[in-house]
């Protein structure tokens, strides 16, 4: 019986079966690590305005192996939160605000805006200048910041006069988004990837909260942990088999 067991171990170690199984298990562990990392990021940012939940997309290839695709950002709308601040705006439906960062234009649904010392409308997070539909920054009268109305289509009216219009648009469907911090995004081409909506819909005095569904994340957490632990144990067993096989080979 021992001889048969030794022969089977030698066959496994010497053939391509064990290395292939080892790689498959390692790939699965990598996938579950990424899924758990995304889950923890979602949990930490459950109260971050404009945060988009990260979902790791997986698929089986033709050989039945688990393959991890790029992270996908779950664009279900978050909760509308009333703040009463006239400089707070939420996108009611599809679309992003466009802002100008040092590295180029970025896009966000975090509409908590404020006015800096130069009278420029900027984001509260990062202090990035908010862009108009024409692609320029927006200047407001600092003394009359509270005498401000923003219409449902993004028109900015101060002291009864139209000042500008917020850029609210969607991104080209072919653009690959990259998150900067979960609430701000970059896309290849920057401004060229941004398409102004003809009829945007926004709500003044509100901002959008995170779209993380905590109940969903809490359900997924133990499932991912169990799968990770199961594959980690399998990998330990295969390593032990490999070590045993090598020891047997050197003893002969």
Going by pLDDT thresholds of 50, 70 and 90, the confidence category of residue 193 is confident
Cα 70-124-51 angle, rounded to 5 deg? 25
Percent of the chain with pLDDT over 90: 44
pTM (two decimals): 0.76
Tell me phi and psi for residue 50, to 5 degrees.
Answer: 75, 0
Going by pLDDT thresholds of 50, 70 and 90, the confidence category of residue 108 is very high
> What's residue 83's pLDDT?
96
Number of helices (H) and strands (E) in the chain: give both, helices first. Answer: 3, 17
pLDDT in tens, 58-97: 777 777 766 777 677 878 899 999 999 999 999 999 999 9
* 202, β-bridge pairs: 91
CA dist 9 and 60 (Å) reads 29
Q: What does DSSP say about strands 96-101 and 89-91: parallel, antiparallel, or unpaired?
A: unpaired
CA dist 179 and 185 (Å) reads 4
CA dist 118 and 15 (Å) reads 70
* pLDDT above 90 for 227: no
Mean pLDDT, all residues of the chain: 81
Higher pLDDT, 50 or 216: 50
* pLDDT above 90 for 238: no
CA dist 35 and 216 (Å) reads 13
pLDDT in tens, 131-142: 999 999 999 987
pLDDT in tens, 31-69: 778 888 888 889 999 999 999 998 887 777 777 766 777
Query: Which strands form 178-179's sheet, in the order they lie side by side?
Result: 178-179, 184-186, 104-108, 96-101, 168-171, 194-196
Length of the chain as a residue count:
252
Cα 40-102-122 angle, rounded to 5 deg? 80
Going by pLDDT thresholds of 50, 70 and 90, the confidence category of residue 233 is low
* 46, β-bridge pairs: none
Cβ contact 89:150 at 8 Å = yes
User: Could you count the other beta carbons within 10 Å of the beta carbon of residue 114?
Assistant: 15
C-alpha separations of 40 from 45, 96, 217 in Å: 9, 25, 9
Cα 80-86-87 angle, rounded to 5 deg? 85
Nearest to 172 by CA among 184, 155, 185: 185
Give the tokens for residue 145: 């910041």
Q: Residue 145: which residues within 8 A CB-CB, separation 6 or more? A: 86, 87, 115
C-alpha separations of 55 from 25, 52, 250 in Å: 21, 9, 47
The half-sphere exposure of 182 on its side-chain side, counting CA atoms within 13 A, is 22
């Amino acid at each position: 019986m021992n001889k048969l067991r030794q022969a089977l171990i030698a066959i496994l170690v010497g053939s391509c079966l064990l290395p292939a199984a080892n790689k498959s298990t390692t790939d699965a562990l990598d996938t579950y690590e990424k899924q758990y990392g995304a889950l923890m990021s979602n949990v930490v940012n459950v109260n971050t305005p404009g945060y988009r939940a990260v979902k790791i997309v997986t698929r089986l290839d033709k050989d039945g192996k688990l393959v991890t695709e790029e992270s996908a950002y779950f664009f279900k709308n978050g909760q509308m939160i009333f703040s009463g601040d006239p400089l707070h705006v939420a996108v009611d439906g599809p679309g992003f605000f466009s802002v100008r960062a040092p590295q180029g234009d970025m896009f966000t649904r975090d509409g908590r805006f404020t006015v800096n010392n130069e009278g420029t409308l900027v984001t509260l997070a990062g202090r990035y200048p908010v862009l108009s539909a024409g692609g320029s920054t927006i200047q407001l009268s600092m003394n009359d910041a509270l005498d401000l109305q923003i219409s449902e289509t993004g028109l900015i009216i101060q002291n009864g006069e139209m000042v500008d219009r917020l850029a609210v648009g969607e991104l080209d469907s072919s653009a690959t988004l990259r998150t900067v911090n979960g609430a701000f995004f970059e896309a290849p081409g920057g401004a060229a990837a941004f398409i102004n909506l003809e009829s945007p819909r926004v709500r003044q005095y509100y901002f959008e909260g995170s779209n993380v569904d905590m109940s969903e994340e809490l359900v997924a957490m133990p499932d991912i942990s169990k799968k990770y632990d199961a594959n980690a144990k399998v990998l330990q067993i295969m390593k032990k088999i490999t070590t045993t096989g090598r020891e047997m080979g050197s003893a002969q």
